[in-house]
Amino acid sequence: MSEQDGFSVKSLRREYQVSFVDDFAGALASELAPGDFLLVDRNLGQLYASRLEPLLSAQPHLLITANEEQKEFSALGKIIEQLIAQGVRKNHRLVAIGGGVTQDITGFISSVLYRGVEWLFAPSTLLAQADSCIGSKTSVNFGPYKNQLGSFYPPAHIFIDPGLLNTLSPLDMRSGMGEMIHYFLVSGRKDFEFIRDTYPDCLQDRQALKAAIARSLAIKREMIQRDEFDQGPRQVFNYGHSFGHAIETLTDYAVPHGVAVSFGMDLANFLSTRLGYIDQDLRQEIRSLLAMNWGDASFSQVGVEGLIAALGKDKKNEGSQIKVILTKGLGRMFKTTLEVDARCRGWLEEYFADAAAQGN
Ligand SMILES: NC(=O)c1ccc[n+]([C@@H]2O[C@H](COP(=O)([O-])OP(=O)(O)OC[C@H]3O[C@@H](n4cnc5c(N)ncnc54)[C@H](O)[C@@H]3O)[C@@H](O)[C@H]2O)c1
Ligand SMILES: [Zn+2]
């Protein structure tokens, strides 16, 4: 079996399965048992009404509005109430059909309902298919603290149907591409060149995209099998993320996660040049790919002070020092502490002025 048919992921909780399928609804229909409960992204419920009909008429289900408010801890009570009222028992499974929001809600509830029920997942966004579906993390929001409650609780089986991406918005496609690019850069030069050369094809050709998704997951799998609980080596995947999270939040999610991470990686690379870890040529080489992905998205309006304040709130940081992932080259990302002093502020001012001049 090739990686593009499927593979399994070892986890300390269980070994779980990832399958590439042509028809997510058919694959789920042959897997489900009476009483298994579906949590379906509301937009998919409309876009794929006829394909979902046999599943929805056979199984109890709920439509989920995929936004950050619905991922709020206090909003989960209503969902849990309905699951219990509609007869979900410990031996039933929850089934998420949707993107990262539907995943996080379903995964989190699965991990606590009756002290844990099994769950299945059909990811429907590129971000969820190429990244979040594996790795065990479930995260929900608690007031202003985004993704601060959670657990490590993987689904038993993941069914990836790249055909679902035909209806995804161009901006959400770019968000997923940004997240994928980050895995390819952390992996090394061969993978960087692969994604750079196939980037345009990925947006048009589902076979090219499927190959990139499979490779992205293979890179991530190797790392999460070594450090599932994010205690050491897996932290290099935070590359671009401290800055990215800040940009995402400060633009009120107008710049979606993976696009914000694209800017975040470029900023990390810029700081890496200023600190003498990489040269300008390498930064520009990577930037050409990242710029293709961020297009005309803009973040510089948030300002340097806004960025610094938001970084201070990042869960990994204390005082005027921030923990960031910088790079000594492709495949050579490392965790370090950045002192936010006058010198660093000067670099950030320079970076923002340059971005504003370029329309970002
Ligand atoms: N648990 C993890 O490991 C992990 C990792 C990364 C991100 N996340 C979380 O994932 C969330 C973001 O998820 P996301 O980017 O996958 O998207 P999402 O779930 O927020 O969905 C984005 C939009 O796309 C729509 N949509 C979904 N699938 C579609 C399709 N096939 N066609 C048309 N529209 C579709 C949704 O209805 C929604 O409007 C954030 O809350 C983030 O914190 C979790
Ligand atoms: Zn990410």
Domains of the chain listed by start with CATH number: 6-167 (3.40.50.1970), 170-357 (1.20.1090.10)
CA–CA gap between residue 170 and residue 168 (Å, rounded): 7
Distance 104 CA to ligand 1 centre (A): 9
**Higher pLDDT pick, 93 / 341:** 93
Residue 45 has pLDDT above 90, yes or no: yes
pLDDT at site 315: 56
pLDDT digits (tens, 9 = 90+) for 282-308: 999 999 999 999 999 999 999 999 999
pLDDT at site 316: 59
C-alpha dist (Å) from residue 211 to 114, 182, 198, 217: 38, 16, 10, 10
**Higher pLDDT pick, 227 / 353:** 353
Ligand 1 atom at minimum distance from 176 CA: 15
Residue 1 has pLDDT above 80, yes or no: no
pLDDT at site 312: 80
pLDDT at site 29: 96
Distance 215 CA to ligand 2 centre (A): 16
Q: What percent of the chain has a predicted confidence (pLDDT) above 90?
A: 88
Name the pTM for this structure: 0.95
- Please name which ligand lies nearest the alpha carbon of 178: 2
Distance 81 CA to ligand 1 centre (A): 24
Ligand 1 atom at minimum distance from 65 CA: 37
3-state helix, strand and coil shares in percent for the chain, rounded to the nearest 5: 55, 15, 30
Residue 212 has pLDDT above 60, yes or no: yes
pLDDT digits (tens, 9 = 90+) for 173-211: 999 999 999 999 999 999 999 999 999 999 999 999 999
- Please name which ligand lies nearest the alpha carbon of 243: 2
101 in contact with ligand 1, CB cutoff 6 A: yes
154 in contact with ligand 1, CB cutoff 6 A: no
* Average pLDDT of the chain, as a whole number: 94
47 in contact with ligand 1, CB cutoff 6 A: yes
> 130-144, 302-316, 323-337: lowest mean pLDDT where?
302-316
8 Å CB contact between 251 and 299? yes
Distance 239 CA to ligand 2 centre (A): 9
Helices (H) and strands (E) in the chain, counts: 14, 11
- Band of pLDDT at residue 317, cut at 50, 70 and 90: low
Residue nearest (by alpha carbon) to ligand 1 atom 12: 100
8 Å CB contact between 326 and 336? yes
Residue whose C-alpha is closest to residue 289's, from 173, 185, 190: 185
Distance 52 CA to ligand 2 centre (A): 29
> 182-186, 310-314, 338-342: lowest mean pLDDT where?
310-314
Ligand 1 atom at minimum distance from 135 CA: 3
User: Tokens 């209806």, residue?
Assistant: 167
Which conformational region is residue 136 in: left (phi greater than 0), alpha (psi within -120 to 50 degrees), or beta? left
147 in contact with ligand 1, CB cutoff 6 A: yes
Residue 3 has pLDDT above 80, yes or no: no
- Please name which ligand lies nearest the alpha carbon of 139: 1
